[in-house]
Amino acid sequence: MSIFKGAGVAIITPFHEDGSVDYESFARLIEFQIANGTDAIIVCGTTGEASTLSHEEHLDVVGFCIKQVAGRIPVVAGTGSNCTETAVYLSQEAEKLGADGVLLVSPYYNKATQNGLYTHFKTIADSIHIPVILYNIQGRTGVNIAPATIARLFHDVDNIVAVKEASGNISQVAHIAQLTDGQMDIYSGNDDQIVPILSLGGKGVISVLSNIAPKQTHDICQLYFDGKVEESAREQLRALPLVDALFCEVNPIPVKSAASYLGYGKNELRLPMTVMEEPNQERLKKAMIEYGIEGMA
């Protein structure tokens, strides 16, 4: 059973000017997502600036999101770390808070071997009972989880059920599907590759775009599932200029700006992330307008 099918939002964490979490804006953003068809919320991932949250803040944000969602759609908690012990702790606490699953990024900076990656993920998954989504993003972590390692984990560990694939390598996605007999749930980790990954049997996307265009991102997936492949592809291509603008600086810098334009918190990030450069802000605003996103402040 999949944790979710369709578009899951990799949701931002809004901050006040003093750096504290803006829970009022966070609650409104969660309601905006649910009202516009988002299929799941992935909280405290890369886009949620988890790396600059204290453990207490991290779990407070996860708990708040779970309570706000109140079972209406699945909530997946980002609980990965380059320290296995920390990831075990965060995962166990997220399970206690009621998370429907956890998202585990590959250990960054350490650059573990494939055997180290296998043991890391297995240790965390064995410590909890809820489903696990592996998160492969070599561009941010410095290490690729090889398809053979992903397949080994899927076959050996009952609650490792899915992978968020953000390598950008469609051939790798195909090999994961082949090595797991199409049984492992694969989610696109890139908003410009939703339809290609769905065509290989993918279950959806864990999306940055969904923060500001939840209905449109959901529809890309749903059109495909409904057999309207050409329409789905057309919507995928229509979104590309906005997706490009959302990644013209390091994520989540642009999407934080975009969310603030829509009134979901101030354009505040925690260092070392800094506010988007002015020319790129103008590019983003233009792309949002051309895409048809209204209500900008």
Q: What residues are annotated to the active site?
A: 135, 164
User: Which run of H or of E encompasses 77?
Assistant: strand 75-78
At position 178, the amino acid (one-letter code) is: Q
d(CA 123, CA 127): 6
At position 210, the amino acid (one-letter code) is: S
Cα→Cα distances 212→74, 104, 123, 294, Å: 19, 24, 36, 10
227 CA to centre of own chain? 25
What letters, b where the CB count within 10 A reaches 16 and e where it falls short, cover 46-85? bbbbbbbbeeebbbbbbbbbbebbeeebbbbbbbbbbebe
Residues 6+ apart with CB under 8 A from 220: 7, 194, 195, 205, 232, 235, 236, 239
> Could you tell me if 8 and 211 are in contact, meaning their C-beta atoms sit under 8 angstroms apart?
no
Q: Report helix, strand or coil for 169.
A: coil
Query: Which two structure tokens, joined as six digits, stand for 22?
Result: 């803006």
